Structures are given as structure tokens and as C-alpha cells.
Copies of this chain bind each other. A is one copy, B any other.
């Protein structure tokens, strides 16, 4: 890698994920953020100037609107694509799939996110599990927040030879904190209409060997998802052996109710106290003292910050596709160091 010039990265879509990817790319010394592209011209893009990030419009028309709104625009997506090695698509669900032909026509590498189907790229990415098969590819899909957490945790159990099958109940946050009109619910619980929910099959798009079934329900809060798992182990195991398996993953942080971390809001507050940007929790925060084994059964719960968990995966995916790293271990270590990812918070 020594002497290699930084990989030039673009981010398309400056929303919940895109803004975090942009920040994270700027923290990598082997990457350069060339610019971000969006379609809005309101407050959401007004902080780019403050941050020194270059803005592009999705089309000529968008660029004109941005200009008229007083935003400095460097050009259109077409120009941005010509100036980079790889683009990270963080546009809303299904928009990304439509953008893909554009990226392919320009011959650049690209990453889509979990809102798109596996077939859009033919490869689904979680660094712990599918880094190697992504190396040098044209594209990959960084899977959703829920799926990322599932693959991280179940892969850890699998590597330890403990995983037989896993059954999870997923409490999904209703909407993102900044939203006021997209899916917010109050004083109710809204089951996903289908059992199993889509996350189980989605995890198998990363690792087809995982025997996993999920059920999901939307709950009236905005902070994070919360997963409860019943795992059938390959054999009876003690709690400590399971914890050790989770400790082998650098992106699972063990937390304890005994430390007062009794709810998802306290964990988010801790992230702020640790000076994390946007209170990001990149790790799966898994309650060590709640975890229980009974014979060959394992029970545990963890928290998933749906806004932040896929950010380190996206950084690793950039390294895999562009050949900045050829093995998961070195990329993960580099990403973790840059974002301050840790296995214990104190």
C-alpha cells in the first residue's frame, strides 16, 4: 500500500447513511472524499460548506435548483462519477438499483446499501464474513443494519463451532430520529405482516450456511433496534465459552446492566459521553450479564444502532472492492482504529 495514492470516493445521497459514510471516508488515510451528490436544496445540505465537503447535483436540473437556493455546486453526478474510483450509493431504497446502470456505464466500482436486493450486485457484504469474496469485485451490497448485526453475531458463534440454528425476535425502531413524517408510530406495536421477516433470508445472502429465522415488530421509538435471540448450540456450552466467542469479533461490544446500561437510551448517551460523532454506536452492543446458556440453548439480547452499524462495513467494502486491502483483518483493524471502535466501552 505504501506510496499508493488514496482511493477517490464519492457518496451519492447525503442522508442518514450517506452523511456518516462521508465523515468516515474522510477519517481514512487511504481514501479521499471527492464529493457528495444529492437532490435536495434545503437545510440538509447547508452544513457541507461548514464541513468543506464538495456538493454535486443528481442532474442538471437539481444542480440549477441548488444554485438558485444559494448552494455551491461543483457539477452533476455525471462529472462526479468521472472523478472517482468508487461511488457509495446511499440513496433511498430502489433509487440505488436504478443508479447502478449509470455507474456500470462509467466503468466505476460501486457499493449499494441494504435497501437494495442482493441481485443488484450479486454479492452481499459483512466484513467479518464476506470480505474475501468481495476483493476486486465491481460491486457489492452492504447489507442492512439488522442483517449486519445478525451476521456479525452468528458468524462469531459459527467460527467457534457453536452455532446450530438461531431464532430471533427483532424490535425495530419506528423511524429515524430526524424524521417527523415517515413511519413514526405512537402508543402501539406494529408486527411485520409476515413471519418469518426478511432479515433471516437476507443474512443467508451473506452466508448461506446460517440457519436463521427472524420475526420483526415495529416499536414506538427512534433510537435503535433491539434483538432477542434463542440459539440452539451444537452442544452444551457454558456462558463464558459463548462470551469468548463473541469477544473474538472486534465489532461486538459487551455491555452490562450492572453498569447502569439498562436500556437503549443509556447506551446512546454513553456514546455521546465518549465524544462519538452523532452518538454513533458502530458496534453490536450485547448485554453480557443478561446472556444465559441452558444446556445446549443460548439466550441473549443486543442493541443495533441502525444509523451507524453499517458505516465501518462500508469503509471495509471500499477497501475490498478497490484492493486497498486483500484480507478482512487488516482492513477491519484500520477502520476500527479510525472510528474508535472497541470491544468494551470502559
A264-B188 contact in complex given A221-B220, A228-B169, A228-B215, C-beta closer than 8 Å: yes
Report the Cα distance A99→B284, complex, angstroms: 47
Report the Cα distance A291→B196, complex, angstroms: 9
Query: Is the CB–CB distance between B265 and A194 below 8 Å?
Result: no
Please tell me which stretch of A18-26, A123-131, A133-141, A295-303 contacts chain B, meaning at least 4 of its Cβ atoms lie within 8 angstroms of it: A295-303
Shortest CB-to-CB span from A39 to chain B, Å, is: 29
Report the Cα distance A189→B223, complex, angstroms: 9
Interface assignment of A171: CB less than 8 Å from any CB of chain B: yes
Interface assignment of A226: CB less than 8 Å from any CB of chain B: yes
Report the Cα distance A228→B196, complex, angstroms: 11
* Integer count of this chain's copies in the complex: 2
Report the Cα distance A193→B262, complex, angstroms: 7
Shortest CB-to-CB span from A233 to chain B, Å, is: 14
Report the Cα distance A299→B196, complex, angstroms: 8
Residues of chain B lying within 8 A (CB to CB) of residue A300: 195
Tell which of B191, B226, B264, B289 touches A301, judged by Cβ atoms closer than 8 Å: B191
Query: Is the CB–CB distance between B262 and A226 below 8 Å?
Result: no
Interface assignment of A324: CB less than 8 Å from any CB of chain B: no
Q: Which of chain A's residues 142-197 have a Cβ closer than 8 Å to chain B?
A: 167, 169, 171, 185-191, 193-196
Interface assignment of A222: CB less than 8 Å from any CB of chain B: yes
Report the Cα distance A290→B215, complex, angstroms: 10
Query: Is the CB–CB distance between B220 and A220 below 8 Å?
Result: yes
Residues of chain B lying within 8 A (CB to CB) of residue A84: none
Interface assignment of A204: CB less than 8 Å from any CB of chain B: no
Query: Is the CB–CB distance between B257 and A191 below 8 Å?
Result: yes
Interface assignment of A219: CB less than 8 Å from any CB of chain B: yes
Shortest CB-to-CB span from A243 to chain B, Å, is: 14
Shortest CB-to-CB span from A213 to chain B, Å, is: 7
CB-CB nearest in chain B for A228: B169
Tell which of B230, B290, B291 touches A167, judged by Cβ atoms closer than 8 Å: B230
Residues of chain B lying within 8 A (CB to CB) of residue A222: 187
Residues of chain B lying within 8 A (CB to CB) of residue A196: 292, 299
Residues of chain B lying within 8 A (CB to CB) of residue A224: 189
Q: A: which residues have CB within 8 A of B? A: 167, 169, 171, 185-191, 193-196, 213, 215, 217, 219-224, 226, 228, 230, 257, 262-265, 287, 289-292, 294, 297, 299-301
